[in-house]
């Protein structure tokens, strides 16, 4: 059924005076229209804007806009996704240092904090914290899954399935170069607390996991397989599945359905489904941090693949993600441009939106150079989706190390060996 859907996106500039912008994209089933300048960031700490699409308790489509960096901690602005007008301005969520997911469950929103591996309940009537918080480092179940002081836990993704919230966490060392198995948790949201039951977790998920998607009774999880480096794809990168409804999640079997191979020597970069049709984004950076890979269509058998987009010779840009969305579209963030495909006949995109005036940019703000974030807000009858693919801690973290890393990278996704030495100096 044709509907009007909405996507949020953000652009950034890595010039000496950073600027950022959050905008919207509408799709009425026939015309795809970018609407820039919903929120423009200028001045100190203005770069790195991020967006989260969600629906409030009245099923009104909303966009949360904030920043990965910013002096004093970034505030959160809430916008009407349909009109682009402000709903709530500069909300401070003290327990969310770095917003990396915003999902509605029941009558409340739940915000994921990347840097501190926390889940924080937000009241959508006021867009303020309720005081109910899950903390990976202090929860009786999860606190024993890592070594405090040596390991660092990051909140990677959250997803709601039938009224139940699941979370995905990664564990790495202080330099973000060595990873342990990732952890999937099933939250219990009580009247005064958010906890994880003693068997409501599984830590057999591949290293550096970042994305989840549901198909049938299975939860699919995409993982980089370790540290993202230039020129050396992780051979352990995998797409795995687990039966999310299993009462004892800890002992549930985790099956690898697809991953790095001779035929596809890439890392898994995103996963989504339309029924039993799967869309898998695979790719790896070469030694110059040029992405090479493919956007593939297959079935849940993961045996025969068709390339929708082949960029195995390389493509520029650093934001890579792909999701199946309303109006039978495939939304593909291809480094810097955003492409829309008709899933029924995906030979060529039906729209290609670029970082140029008249497309993703509009006067007077036409000085951006990088696609920074994308979030599918959805339509009135659907659930918002994160369209983020994999982003490294160097790209995301609000920590002093993350801020220092981005000053070196200027958009690039990770540090070269000599740059790691510079950061450690």
If you write DSSP's letter for every residue of 55-71 in order, what string do you get? Answer: E-TT--EEEEEEES--T
Q: Is the peptide bond before 6 cis (omega within 30 degrees of 0)?
A: no
pLDDT reported for residue 32: 98
pLDDT value at 385 more than 70: no
First to last CA, the chain: 57
Please, which pLDDT band fits residue 321 given cuts at 50, 70 and 90?
very high
The candidate with the shortest Cα–Cα distance to 9, out of 30, 32, 28, is: 32
pLDDT (tens digit, 9 = 90+) per residue, 79-109?
999 999 999 999 999 999 889 999 999 999 9
Phi, psi angle pair for 420, to nearest 5°: -60, -40
Residue 97 carries which DSSP code?
Answer: S
Torsion of CA 228, 229, 230, 233, to 10 degrees: -70
Q: Please, which residues have CB within 8 angstroms of residue 117's CB and are 6 or more apart in sequence?
A: 135, 136, 137, 153, 154, 155, 169
pLDDT reported for residue 69: 65
Average pLDDT over residues 322-333: 96
If you write DSSP's letter for every residue of 163-205 in order, what string do you get? Answer: TEEEEEEEEE-TTS--EEEEEEEEEEE-SS-EEEEEEEEEEEE
CB neighbours of residue 259 within 10 Å: 22
Query: Model pTM?
Result: 0.95
pLDDT reported for residue 390: 86
pLDDT value at 381 more than 70: no
pLDDT reported for residue 166: 98
Higher-confidence residue of 413 and 334: namely 334
Structure tokens at 29: 């089933």
Q: Please, which residues have CB within 8 angstroms of residue 305's CB and are 6 or more apart in sequence?
A: 264, 280, 296, 297, 298
Please, which pLDDT band fits residue 357 given cuts at 50, 70 and 90?
very high
pLDDT value at 207 more than 60: yes
Structure tokens at 405: 């890393």
- Are 215 and 276 spatial neighbours (Cβ–Cβ below 8 Å)? yes
Phi, psi angle pair for 270, to nearest 5°: -175, 160
Least confident of 83-97, 240-254, 302-316, 410-424: 410-424
> How many whole angstroms separate alpha carbon 60 and alpha carbon 251?
39
pLDDT reported for residue 415: 78
Which CATH number fits the domain that encloses residue 351? 2.130.10.10
pLDDT reported for residue 42: 82
Please, which pLDDT band fits residue 72 given cuts at 50, 70 and 90?
very low
Average pLDDT over residues 280-292: 96
Looking at the 3D structure of the chain, how many domains does it have? Answer: 1
Least confident of 140-149, 254-263, 301-310, 365-374: 365-374
Cα within 13 Å of Cα(399), Cβ side? 18
pLDDT reported for residue 382: 66
> How many whole angstroms separate alpha carbon 20 and alpha carbon 368?
7
If you write DSSP's letter for every residue of 99-139 in order, what string do you get? Answer: EEEEEEETTEEEEEETTTTEEEEEETTTTEEEEEEEETTTS
394 is in which domain, residue-wise? 5-424
> How many whole angstroms separate alpha carbon 355 and alpha carbon 365?
11
pLDDT reported for residue 14: 79
Structure tokens at 89: 């301005």
Please, which pLDDT band fits residue 388 given cuts at 50, 70 and 90?
confident
Q: Please, which residues have CB within 8 angstroms of residue 1's CB and are 6 or more apart in sequence?
A: none
Residue 206 carries which DSSP code?
Answer: P
Q: Give me the chain's average pLDDT, please.
A: 93
Q: Please, which residues have CB within 8 angstroms of residue 295's CB and are 6 or more apart in sequence?
A: 279, 280, 281, 307, 308, 309, 322, 330, 332
pLDDT (tens digit, 9 = 90+) per residue, 3-59?
999 999 999 987 767 789 999 999 999 999 999 999 998 876 667 899 999 999 888
pLDDT reported for residue 379: 86
pLDDT reported for residue 74: 63
CA distances from 118 to 114, 207, 260, 352, 401 (A): 7, 19, 31, 36, 19
Residues β-bridged to residue 255: 241
| Count of residues making up the chain | 425
Return the SS3 of 71.
coil
pLDDT reported for residue 268: 98
Average pLDDT over residues 168-196: 97
Least confident of 33-42, 46-55, 169-178, 336-345: 46-55
Please, which pLDDT band fits residue 403 given cuts at 50, 70 and 90?
confident
Tell me the percentage of the chain whose pLDDT exceeds 70: 96
Residues β-bridged to residue 242: 219
């Amino acid at each position: 059924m044709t509907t009007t859907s909405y996507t949020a996106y953000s652009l950034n500039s890595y010039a000496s005076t950073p600027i950022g912008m959050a905008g919207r994209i509408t799709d009425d089933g026939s015309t795809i229209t970018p609407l820039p300048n919903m929120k423009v960031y200028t001045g100190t700490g203005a770069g790195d804007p991020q967006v989260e699409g969600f629906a409030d308790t009245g099923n009104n489509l909303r966009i949360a806009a904030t920043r990965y960096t910013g002096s004093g901690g970034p505030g959160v602005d809430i916008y009407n996704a349909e009109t682009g007008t402000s709903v709530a301005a500069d909300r401070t969520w003290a327990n969310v240092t770095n917003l990396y997911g915003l999902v509605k469950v029941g009558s409340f929103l739940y915000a994921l904090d990347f840097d501190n591996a926390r889940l924080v309940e937000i009241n959508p009537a006021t867009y303020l914290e309720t005081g109910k918080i899950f903390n990976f480092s202090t929860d009786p179940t999860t606190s024993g899954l890592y070594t405090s002081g040596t390991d660092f836990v990051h909140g990677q993704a959250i997803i709601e399935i039938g009224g139940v919230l699941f979370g995905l966490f990664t564990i790495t060392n202080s330099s973000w170069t060595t990873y342990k198995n990732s952890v999937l948790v099933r939250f219990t949201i009580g009247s005064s607390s958010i906890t994880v039951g003693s068997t409501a977790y599984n830590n057999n998920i591949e290293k550096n996991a970042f994305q989840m998607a549901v198909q049938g009774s299975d939860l699919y999880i995409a993982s980089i397989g370790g540290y993202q480096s230039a020129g050396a794809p992780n051979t352990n990168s995998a797409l795995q599945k687990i039966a999310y409804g299993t009462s004892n999640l800890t002992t549930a079997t985790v099956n690898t359905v697809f991953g790095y191979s001779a035929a596809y020597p890439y890392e898994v970069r995103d996963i989504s489904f339309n029924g039993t049709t799967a869309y898998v984004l695979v790719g790896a950076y070469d030694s110059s941090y040029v992405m090479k890979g493919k956007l593939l269509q297959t079935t849940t058998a993961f045996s025969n693949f068709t390339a929708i987009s082949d960029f195995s010779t390389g493509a520029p840009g650093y934001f890579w993600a792909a999701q199946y969305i309303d109006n039978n579209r495939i939304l593909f963030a291809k480094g810097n441009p955003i492409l829309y495909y008709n899933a029924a006949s995906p030979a060529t995109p039906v729209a290609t939106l670029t970082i140029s005036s008249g497309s993703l940019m509009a006067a007077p703000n036409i000085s951006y150079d990088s696609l920074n974030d994308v979030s599918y807000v959805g339509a009135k009858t659907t659930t918002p989706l994160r369209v983020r693919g994999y982003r490294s801690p160097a790209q995301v973290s609000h920590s002093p190390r993350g801020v220092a890393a981005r000053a070196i990278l200027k958009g690039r996704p990770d540090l070269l060996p000599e740059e790691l030495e510079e950061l450690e100096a």
